[in-house]
Amino acid sequence: MAVKGDETRARIIAAARTLVEAQGSHGTGLNEVLAVAGAPRGSLYHHFPGGKDQLVGEALTAAGREVDAMIAGLADTVPDVRELVPALLDALADRMVAADYAKGCPVATVALEVASSNEHLQRICGGIYEGWQRRLADALRAGGHEAADDLAATVLALVEGSLVLARAGRSRLPVERARRQLVRLLA
C-alpha cells in the first residue's frame, strides 16, 4: 500500500476511535467518520472491506494497544507497583477531563453497547480487557502481590467503574474515591 493510502487508513481509524469512544458504535455514522478523517467514501470501502464492524474493531484494537502501552510504560518507569495503578487511573482521568468527559475508557462505550448484540466486537472488547488484566497481573506479581490475577481483575473493575461513573456524573470525584481505595488495596 502506498504511503498516502497508509496515511488515509490511519486517519480513518483515528477518526473512528475518537467518535466511537465518545458516541459508541451505534451513534457513530460512517459519513461522520469520513468527514472527520477528511477522506473520500471510496477509501472506506477500499481499506475496510468488512465495513463498519471491521473499522470499529480496528479502532478498538488500536485504542487497546495504546492503553496496554501506557500500562507497560508506567510499569517500567514507576519505582513501585503501588504507584502504577494510581498513575494509570490519573492518566485516564486527565484524558477524560481534557476531553470534557467525552472520553473515559476507550473501549467501555462499545463494550457496553455490543455485549449481547455483536459477537465480533464483543470478542474484541473482551480480548482487550483480558490483555490489560494480564498486563496488570504481571506487574502486580512482579511487585510481590499474591493472587495477582484476582487483584488485577479487581483493580481493572475499579478503574473502569470509576471512569464510567465520572463520565456519567461529569465529575472526577468517583475517580478520586477509587484512587484512594486502590492505594489502600495495594498497600
pLDDT in tens, 75-131: 889 888 889 999 999 999 999 999 999 988 889 999 999 878 899 999 999 999 999
CA-to-CA distance for 178 and 162, rounded, in angstroms? 6
pLDDT in tens, 41-71: 999 989 999 999 999 999 999 999 999 999 9
Domains of the chain: 52-186 (1.10.357.10)
Look at residue 80 in the predicted model and tell me its pLDDT.
Answer: 85
pLDDT in tens, 16-50: 999 999 999 999 999 999 999 999 999 998 999 99
Residues 6 or more apart whose Cβ sits within 8 Å of residue 21: 63, 102, 103, 104, 106, 109, 110
Look at residue 28 in the predicted model and tell me its pLDDT.
Answer: 94
User: Which range (1-10, 63-72, 148-157) has the least confidence?
Assistant: 1-10
Say yes or no to pLDDT of 1 above 70: no
Say yes or no to pLDDT of 2 above 90: no
Mean pLDDT, rounded, for 129-148: 93
| Cell numbers for 19 | 467518535
Look at residue 114 in the predicted model and tell me its pLDDT.
Answer: 87
Measured torsion, CA atoms of residues 105, 107, 112, 116, in degrees rounded to the nearest 10: -170
Cα separation of the two ends of the chain: 50
Look at residue 5 in the predicted model and tell me its pLDDT.
Answer: 77
Look at residue 187 in the predicted model and tell me its pLDDT.
Answer: 87
Q: Are 9 and 51 in contact (CB under 8 A)?
A: no
Smallest CA-to-CA distance from 12 within 41, 78, 131, 25 is with 41
